[in-house]
Amino acid sequence: MTTTSAPNPATPRASRRILAISVAIIAALIAAFFVFASLYTEFLWFDQLTFASVLTTQWIATATMFAIGFLGMAAPIFVCIQLAYRLRPVYVRLSSQLDRYQEVVEPLRRLAMWGMPIFFGVFAGFAAAGNWQTAWLWANGVTTDTLDPQFGVDTGFYLFAMPFYSALLAYVSAVLLLCLVITALVSYLYGSVRIGQRELRISKPARIQLAVLAGLYLLVQAASLWLDRYLTLVSPEDRITGAAYTGANATIPGLAILSILAAVVAVLFFVTAVIGRWRFPLAATALLIVASLVIGVGYPWVVKTFQVEPNKNAYQAEYYDRNIQSTKEAFGVADMTVTPFTAETDTEAGQLREDAATTASVRIMDPGVIGPTVRQLEQYRSYYQFNQPLDVDRYEIDGQMQDTVVAVRDLDMTKLGGGDSWNNRVAVYTHGYGLVAMAGNQRTSDGEPVFLERGIPSSGFLTESEKFEPRVYFGESSPEYSIVGAPEGREPVEIDYPRGEQGANDTKTTFKGDGGPRIGNTFTKLLYALKFQSEQILFSNLVNSESQILYDRDPKTRVQKVAPYLTLDSDPYPSVVDGRIVWIVDGFTTSSTYPYSTSVSLADAIADSTMPAPTLARDDINYIRNSVKATVDAYDGSVTLYAWDEEDPLLQAWQKIFPNTVKPISEMSGELMSHVRYPTDLFKVQRDILGIYHIDDAGAFAQEVNRWQTPNDPRDKNQLQPPYYLTMKMPDQEEPRFSMFSSFIPASQGNESREVLMGYLAVDSDAGSEPGKKAESYGKLRLLEIDTATTVPGPGQVQNTFDSNTAIADQLNVLTLGKSEVRYGNLLTLPVGGGLLYVQPVYVQSSEGTQLPNLRKILVAFGDEVAFEDTLSQALDALFGGDAGAAGGDEEIEPTDPGTGGEEPPPTEPSEVRQETLQAARDALAARDAALRAGDLETFAAEDKKLTEAVRKLLELEEATAGE
């Protein structure tokens, strides 16, 4: 008889379990490898830039804080659960309801005992890891030798220690509160705490545990209340930031009293843990709650209502003054020079003679308008582009400083068309080529920019140097990643610059620098294939033993990664320094805890008609310094950080955290010094603050009689007017300096603002050209406070005058005949001739198809007088009695009119016949449009004929005048 053993029923189940475990392990390994690929490629990027210590410091700090946060939460909760469970009463009669609870909980008890601490610990760990910068700043904080006016404490305490202590106390409070709640829950569940028949019974172990936890919690609250005294100096009260009269005389003393009371109550809980009587701590807790209402809420209200409000200006004066002085110091405007300015509004011949150097430097080429013209003239191929708006810089040419408008010819990978393949995107189209520079104060006879550096290959004053490197591998529009480099002797594949119509003769090149991690081996190729989700990296024969991969190429991105503590200026700009195109990026250290300094929204302050409001990690700030100047080499991407403000305490602390990453200012070359400028965003923040804090008197501050605001852009009423760079001489300066300017009008009351000029702000932006040393006047703020006895029109009012002037409108109508439209440049305000001169370039472009803005006219205004001429020199002469005594940079230009084929333009003052003909053209145009709307085609045809005749007559007048 044959017997067969029965199959083991556990075998399929065991196989499924093994399979599930194997799949889970494989999935975990794959996930771990992806994480490793991301981390290791990030390390390679930092290591290639020699900033690996920045990344490892962040990793170590984050891991350390996570571990501290995890253990600091998980360990106390675990201990509390274990104590509450192990010290439970063994023989105790529980209610039937608790018996049912225990039956449900008991199977999950071990999981809960371990799971709850881990669950809360993970959350606490992530929260702590996110605050690593706060902890590291506290550990590396420095003193500032500046004391706060209330407690006499060094302001370094507020910048470094107070944020850490606040976070620490909040964390410990959360830990103790969770421990207290969990202990009470476990004690109740297992009978240590029994409630019934109007009686509360607590076992001795539970009593000790709960009382000690409650006492510790109240001790932490006592410390928190004590710290809150200092927090009042960075909290709003009345119209200021910081403790005003009520805060200093009621809130701060009240917090001190409550802190002491909380400590006393904590001691009573500790006593209860020993003697077992709850009456005293519970009564003291109730008293503490009542005291917090009376002392913390009631008393400050009484002081404010019955003492401060009836005598507000007198009582608050001292604290308003604290706020004024601290705000000015925190935003770097304390040393501003204020000059009363009585503006001239009348014009006379020769009035600008003393300002000839300023008028000759007026920038009539608007970086925000001429971009399409530059693109049409200098793009050469569809895969090139120029970022908008263009940038402003200055260069020394033939011994003279020249303000320039500059732009980098970068790649536009969306315009590859049929050539859009992985090979072309990654290995062929790898870099832009050349920097285009134009004179800011000049124009051609056709209204185009005067190029000082242009072309492919580049030619101009920059390429006179043999060491000039025009290639741009790292720019604001560079491809996501490129693979470059090859062994010696291999045929180049990268397009260097185009030649010929079809690109058959394009010049090729191979990258020779050290710009990215090397990916010559299979392992690194695999890592980057995973990072960029591109299997071609692993299998392409374009990747060789000498290949480098370039990514994270935007200058701001590179600086932000190697200096994560900086807030970066929104406008990096390219310059040529020692033959290399470099991007110059300004970095700021900021804080929101400077005592008695008013906070501003950084995003709102820097937003204007040329810059949308950005999204920032830290928006509300009350302290800012331009602490770092950074450069990014456009060829190899190397990043260099320079300590621009070596006295900034925040930078000093960060240099201790990231040692040897920031070079001293002494290592900056003279040529680099000549191109750095005052940061646009810092100036915007300062002008925002100065709208209120241009005053020094607490009485004027209290009365709010002299508040200012930045005017809106005359051409965009919903956005602020941007500041602008010019080489100009302020009234108290001996010679023109490269500076940045803005203006102020009265603060609006309601929806309407009064468009008259109240102030004119300038900051010296020229750092000089001496190696490692800033010019003494660099960063000097100058404010012209305009005498209110003289009404000087503001930008909006001047723009309205331009738009409503009939003589100007007549000439604009001629410019817009046919398929043309007018674009207005930036409206510049210049303090010359004893008053304020407004200059606005006017461009004409096609309304359809290719739009090429060409400068055709210049609008100028001084007081109530306006002029509208072909050149700035002509406009100034027309404005100032026929001879301004000074000329613009376009003095030698003889503009051509687009309708005359290059002949002489007509006289700027229209004749009587010309005026009549213009009026006839306007009437015919209006009648024709009305007939079209009414459907009267017969009248439409007749009026159209009249319009055509008037235009013909105008052209004949133009030609006749030109012939004379």
Task: Report pLDDT for 261.
Answer: 95
Task: Report pLDDT for 352.
Answer: 92
In the numeric block, the tokens 């209110």 are attached to 788
Please name the helix (run of DSSP H) or strand (run of DSSP E) that holds residue 649, with its range, or none. helix 649-657
Helices (H), 407-534: 422-423, 522-531
Across the chain, what does the average pLDDT equal?
88
Task: Report pLDDT for 902.
Answer: 38
Return the beta strands (E) in 47-186 as ranges.
none
| For residue 246, pLDDT beyond 60 | yes
Distance between CA atoms of residues 110 and 230, nearest Å? 45
Task: Kindly state the DSSP code that residue 130 receives in the 8-state scheme.
Answer: T
Residues in the chain: 964
Rounded mean pLDDT, 364-376: 92
Instruction: Return the sign of the alpha-carbon dihedral for residues 916, 921, 926, 932.
Output: positive
**What SS3 state is found at 926?**
helix
pLDDT band at 850 (very low <50, low <70, confident <90, very high): confident
Task: Report pLDDT for 929.
Answer: 67
406 backbone dihedrals φ, ψ, rounded to 5°: -125, 155
| For residue 554, pLDDT beyond 90 | yes
Instruction: Return the sign of the alpha-carbon dihedral for residues 138, 140, 144, 145.
Output: positive
| For residue 952, pLDDT beyond 60 | yes
Rounded mean pLDDT, 217-241: 95
Task: Report pLDDT for 95.
Answer: 58
Task: Report pLDDT for 1.
Answer: 46
Task: Report pLDDT for 900.
Answer: 41
In the numeric block, the tokens 């701001």 are attached to 556
Task: Report pLDDT for 6.
Answer: 52
Task: Report pLDDT for 749.
Answer: 67
| For residue 692, pLDDT beyond 60 | yes
235 backbone dihedrals φ, ψ, rounded to 5°: -110, 150
Distance between CA atoms of residues 350 and 342, nearest Å? 19
Reference 559, options 51, 44, 41; nearest CA is 51
| CA-based end-to-end distance of the chain | 134
Contact 242, 595 (CB under 8 A): yes
pLDDT band at 5 (very low <50, low <70, confident <90, very high): low
Task: Report pLDDT for 941.
Answer: 65
Percentage with pLDDT > 70 across the chain: 91
87 backbone dihedrals φ, ψ, rounded to 5°: -95, 15
Task: Report pLDDT for 381.
Answer: 87
Task: Report pLDDT for 660.
Answer: 95
Cα 154 to Cα 144, 162, 236: the distances in Å are 6, 11, 20
Per the model's pLDDT, the better-predicted residue between 432 and 615 turns out to be 432
294 backbone dihedrals φ, ψ, rounded to 5°: -75, -50
Rounded mean pLDDT, 46-51: 96
Task: Report pLDDT for 251.
Answer: 95
Rounded mean pLDDT, 867-891: 90
| For residue 718, pLDDT beyond 90 | no
Task: Report pLDDT for 100.
Answer: 64
Task: Report pLDDT for 715.
Answer: 85
Rounded mean pLDDT, 307-329: 93
| For residue 877, pLDDT beyond 90 | yes
Amino acid symbol at 701: F
- ∠ CA 314-315-316, nearest 5°, is 95
| For residue 525, pLDDT beyond 80 | yes
Task: Report pLDDT for 615.
Answer: 79
Task: Report pLDDT for 705.
Answer: 80
| For residue 903, pLDDT beyond 60 | no
pTM as predicted: 0.88
